[in-house]
Every structure is written in structure tokens, then in C-alpha cells.
């Protein structure tokens, strides 16, 4: 392996809980209670595709104007929630893992579905670690489509097969595999399928252990 591509939400920072919270409010407006099992299917999925799923689960039919309004409300709510994000909110071990990658001259990329990725990296104070940032503003196809990771590999000038992806969502692991990349899951093998290795966080699995998959 010669490069690492990180997903953002749920891998570098626990913003997955804020997406869930914001979607729950929209679901409630559709008289629908969004469960954590259903939320698993929203992880890694773009804002638009997530709302399509929620509307379908709610069994509702809404007009395009209402759809746009819900997208806007969800994002406003989410932006309020992420105002609180600070460097201390990087998930355990993330900072030292990034430092170790940099020290070992491993190219680092971001492959996120989120259109809010850059401000979140800035709030965490880790933007400068990234040699390439591909986010929801750069792609037309949502994970599990491989576009975001293929663009990441290209931006890092690395072959897809030489990239290792860190992901917390099934859509993201499927996207990595579709891009011919190996994925390490941040989460459990009971929920996430198809990764080559599973970690709970970067603290419990220090660079030395993960280096075997990278160098």
C-alpha cells in the first residue's frame, strides 16, 4: 500500500451522530421515527440520496419544493450541531495516526460524501495533513459508487490498488471495493462486511499494527 484515503464522518470525527440527529428531526416532520438500524443505511450516503430513502421509509409522497426545503432544514440543523466541533473532537488516536503517516511519508487523502467536509477538517485543525481532499462537492455519484475514492487516488497520483481506505459505513466499504481498494472498517464485523481488518478506534490499533496494511 502506498496511500491512505479516509472517510470523514464516523472515522475522523463523531459527526455521524449529528447527521443522525438532524435526520431524525426531518423524519419526525414526516411522522416517522428513524431507527438506528435504518440510520446505518444512511451512513456514507449523500444528503439527497439519504432524504430519498427517508421519504420512502416514511411512505410519503412529497413535492420537489418540499424535498428541497427538507434538505435545507436538515443541513441548517446539522451546521448548528457542528459549530461545536473542536480539535479535541477528533476521534481517539486520529491525530497521532495522521502524524505517523506523515512522518512515514504516506500520502493522505480524504474521500467523503459530505459537502461540509472542509469546514469540519478546519474545525478539527487537521486540514494540513491532507494531500488531497475529495468531498461531496467534487462527485456526482454517491457511495457505494467508487467515484470519490477513484478521484482521491488520482489526486494523490497513486494507483487505486495501492490505496487503503478507512471507512465506518457499508456504502463506503462497498465503494472502496468497487474502486479496487482494500478497506479497513472502523466498526464491528457484525455490522460491516467486506473489510480486510476491523478496528474500534485508532488508539487501540497504533500505527505499528496498521503499518502492515500500508507500507
CB nearer to Mg ion: pick between 7 and 174: 7
Burial category of 76 from C-beta neighbours within 10 Å (exposed 0-12, middle 13-18, buried 19 and up)? exposed
CA distance 116 to 101: 24
Kindly state the helix (H) or strand (E) to which residue 192 belongs, with its residue range: none
Helix, strand, or coil here: 6? strand
Q: Is 93 in contact with 134 (CB distance < 8 Å)?
A: no
The DSSP bridge partners found for residue 198 are: 185
Residues of the shown chain interacting with ligand BG6 in the complex, contacts defined by CB under 6 A:
8-9, 16, 19, 42-47, 50, 75, 112-116, 136, 169
CB of 40 vs Mg ion, minimal distance in Å = 11
The catalytic residues are 7, 9
Name the binder of 19 from ligand BG6, Mg ion, none, CB < 5-8 A by kind.
ligand BG6
Q: Of 139-198, which residues contact Mg ion (CB under 5 A)?
A: 168-169
CB of 12 vs Mg ion, minimal distance in Å = 9
CB nearer to Mg ion: pick between 30 and 85: 85
Measure Cα distances from 153 to 4, 117, 145, 146, 203 in Å: 9, 18, 14, 11, 26
Site pattern 5..24 for Mg ion (x: CB under 5 A): --x-xx--------------
CB nearer to ligand BG6: pick between 116 and 145: 116
Burial category of 84 from C-beta neighbours within 10 Å (exposed 0-12, middle 13-18, buried 19 and up)? exposed
CB of 21 vs Mg ion, minimal distance in Å = 15
CB nearer to Mg ion: pick between 9 and 131: 9
Neighbouring CB atoms inside 10 A of 199's CB total 17
- Total residues contacting Mg ion (rule CB under 5 A)? 5
Binding site for Mg ion (CB under 5 A): 7, 9-10, 168-169
Amino acid at each position: 500500500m502506498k496511500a491512505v484515503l479516509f472517510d470523514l464522518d464516523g472515522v475522523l470525527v463523531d459527526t455521524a451522530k449529528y447527521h443522525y440527529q438532524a435526520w431524525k428531526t426531518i423524519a419526525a416532520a414526516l411522522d416517522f421515527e428513524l431507527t438506528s438500524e435504518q440510520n446505518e443505511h444512511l451512513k456514507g450516503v449523500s444528503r439527497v440520496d439519504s432524504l430519498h430513502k427517508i421519504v420512502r421509509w416514511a411512505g410519503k409522497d412529497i413535492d420537489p419544493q418540499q424535498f428541497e426545503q427538507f434538505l435545507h432544514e436538515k443541513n441548517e440543523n446539522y451546521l448548528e450541531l457542528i459549530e461545536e466541533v473542536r480539535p479535541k473532537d477528533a476521534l481517539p488516536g486520529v491525530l497521532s495516526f495522521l502524524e505517523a503517516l506523515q512522518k512515514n511519508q504516506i500520502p493522505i487523502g480524504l474521500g467523503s460524501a459530505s459537502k461540509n467536509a472542509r469546514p469540519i477538517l478546519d474545525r478539527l485543525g487537521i486540514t494540513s495533513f491532507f494531500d488531497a481532499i475529495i468531498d461531496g462537492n467534487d462527485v456526482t455519484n454517491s457511495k457505494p459508487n467508487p467515484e470519490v475514492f477513484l478521484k482521491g487516488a488520482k489526486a494523490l497520483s497513486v494507483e487505486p490498488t495501492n490505496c487503503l481506505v478507512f471507512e465506518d459505513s457499508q456504502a463506503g466499504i462497498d465503494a472502496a471495493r468497487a474502486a479496487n481498494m482494500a478497506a479497513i472498517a472502523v466498526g464491528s464485523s457484525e455490522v460491516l462486511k467486506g473489510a480486510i481488518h476491523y478496528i474500534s478506534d485508532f488508539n487501540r490499533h497504533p500505527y505499528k499494527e496498521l503499518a502492515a496494511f500500508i507500507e
